[in-house]
Amino acid sequence: MTNKINGYMLLAILLFFSTILIGQIKTKDTVVTLIPVTIKSTRIAKSILLIPVSVTTIDQKQIQQGSQQLSAKEVFKYSPGVFVQNAENMAQDLRIAIRGFGARASFGIRGVRILSDFIPESTPDGQAQIDNLDMGMISNVEVFRGAAAGIYGNASGGVIRFESEKVKKSFAELRMSSGSYDFGKYQFKGGYAAKNFDMLGYVSHTKLLGYRKHNKSENTLYNLNLNYQPTKKSEIKAILNYLYSPIALDPGGITLEDLEEDPEQAREKNILYNAGESVKQLKTGVQYIVNVNEKSTIKAKTFFISRMFDGKIPTNGNGGGVIDLDRTFWGIGAHYKYDNKNVKLPYQLVLGVDYQNQKDHRRRFKNKDGVAGDLGLDQDEIFINKAVFLEQDITFLDKITAVLKLRYDANTIKSTDYFLSNGDASGEISLNSFNPMLGLTYSFSESLNLFAKYATSFETPTLQEFSANPNNNGGFNLELKPQEATSFELGIKGIVNQRMFYELSLFSINLKNELVPYEIDGGDYFRNAGESKRNGIEFGLTVKAKKYITANINMTYSDFTFTDFVVDNTSYNNNFLPGIPKITGALNIAYQGLNGFYANINSEYVSSIFTDNKNAVEAAAYTLVGLNLGKIINVSKITVEPFIGLNNLLNESYSSNIRINAFGKRYYEPGPTINFYIGGRIRI
């Protein structure tokens, strides 16, 4: 039975905690200053004020304090330019779009490179899932917005870097929470710190019945981070991560008529075919860092990821609706960094190489009412990336910083067809790309920094997109081409009176061969549009109003249109790209009292969204408001923290995901109505 809060109960809760909050505001108007953070996702660490890119950082308090920690969507409310959907459908994973890149994803993340510490979560073909990253162990997130192919290769929209907690003092912590729709989460983490060694262990178990029918999910995560310094000049980092997700059901998209009749219903075919997935994933990696001297550093890494995926989709097209995928993804990389800061012309250089190898063994069977039937596809799919990169950073006249980044990627994509009854569709493709990025920053003062950036990028189809072959003959869809983009960006940013950080960016992106999704009877396929253009404005502001109050506001305006796109004699020229709202905005206000009481209120506005290339249908605009409250109580060496959270306070009806160009106009995945969670944390 769906768990909802009575309106009178909600009002009582708000009045109770508001009374407590008012009682806290008896403090002096002491100001806490903002300190410019250092950005690490560009390999050359630099102050956020001097780096000529648009970037947002989110700290541990924003990530963890009083939050539900159901998905990473909660984190990105602090960053402009990022639009996240699908937080409630665990079978489809988060859909993260930066400047529109990633909006086409039928599942997982496309067009945005995801990094976790030193290990890439994105495979070389450009696909990522972050179901193995729990926000309960993350201390910092960097969101790099804009073309990043000159740094990381196959990425059009940007980079998101998750950084795990660092252990400075030994501790043990238990956190438990529960709430609406049978939500339950149990977390344990412990840290040990010695003179030259520290480690962080983390275990979590999450379950959710879901707002809609056929929406159940459950997963367990284990994570271990180790840091060891054998000498004063060297460091070894190691990570071991394991995810077990036995069930994540997919309720599917529904029509507008179904939405108005009953938003909690699932698509009948999704129930009939038992649509959903189960996942097992193992990730491990080691990084070695040695400081050769005061100016030179060498970093080398290796990693291995194994992912076993079993999925069911509500179709028998393209060889079948039951998917059996075994993936191995491994890589090695190294780079040399030269840093000469103490001269008249400070200069930094990074020179490195990467090798990544992804192998997917993909089988598809007929879906006979949720049971695997006859085999329809059996093939190995391989994506090999070899890359060299160069990054240079020079500062002159104490005011101008120039950045040049160059990267060359050689990509080899292979398919070996083992299902030969319909012919041998084996083949090989080579897709190579050279991408530069040039940026300039002029610093008038700490309060005013102008920057400009030019960059190119490319984005290959993923192996899943290549293998979604409309002719049903296996192999790859050889008609698909990589999309290429050229982007220009101007912006200003600065810190005013040590209390306010602001950032304003204007960008223009020209794309060729944009990859566009479409559906045939529940199966996802892709085609290239000729050309498209993306113009946009992003604004972010963080204000320390008082010592106890911090406000964050961000807004994004997106004007993304097709300029040359014709399918079957139908022109979509000048139409807006589906799946991306024209305007988004967010306001977050955090209060932190002296005696440990805190309150965080956040609101998000999303304008209407076109659901198809024709722009014939729009999903309605919506506003979501959330609130969490808690109190940190310190007794001797023990910390106790009870908390409560309320989501969708306005009880807004909205779509948490839009299925772009969906077959049968099943565009909508309704989001949950007003709901709550409550929990506590104890740390010793």
Q: What pLDDT is recorded for position 379?
A: 93
Is the CB of residue 645 less than 8 Å from the CB of residue 678? Answer: yes
- Separation in Å, CA 681 to CA 66, 388, 631: 9, 46, 10
> Alpha-carbon distance 578 to 562, whole Å?
10
Q: What pLDDT is recorded for position 27?
A: 39
Q: What pLDDT is recorded for position 681?
A: 97
Is the CB of residue 682 less than 8 Å from the CB of residue 174? Answer: yes
Q: What pLDDT is recorded for position 311?
A: 93
Q: What pLDDT is recorded for position 647?
A: 97
How many Å separate Cα 659 from the centre of its chain?
18
The reported pTM is: 0.92
Q: What pLDDT is recorded for position 32?
A: 54
Domain boundaries, the chain: 7-683
**What stretch of H or E contains 14?**
helix 7-24
> Within 13 Å and on the Cβ side, how many CA atoms surround 583?
7
Q: Who contacts 635 (Cβ-Cβ below 8 Å, separation ≥6)?
A: none
> Alpha-carbon distance 247 to 469, whole Å?
27
Burial of 496 (0-12, 13-18, 19+ CB in 10 A): middle
Ranges of the chain whose pLDDT falls below 70: 1-36, 317-319, 472-473, 521-523
Is the CB of residue 85 less than 8 Å from the CB of residue 656? Answer: yes
**Identity of the amino acid at 242:** Y
One DSSP character per residue, 156-202 reads SSEEEEEEEPP-SS-EEEEEEEEETTTEEEEEEEEEEE-SSEEEEEE
**Identity of the amino acid at 656:** S
Q: What pLDDT is recorded for position 479?
A: 85
How many Å separate Cα 469 from the centre of its chain?
27
DSSP state of 664: G
Q: What pLDDT is recorded for position 16?
A: 41
Q: What is the CATH number assigned to the segment(s) 7-683?
A: 2.40.170.20
Is the CB of residue 270 less than 8 Å from the CB of residue 258? Answer: no
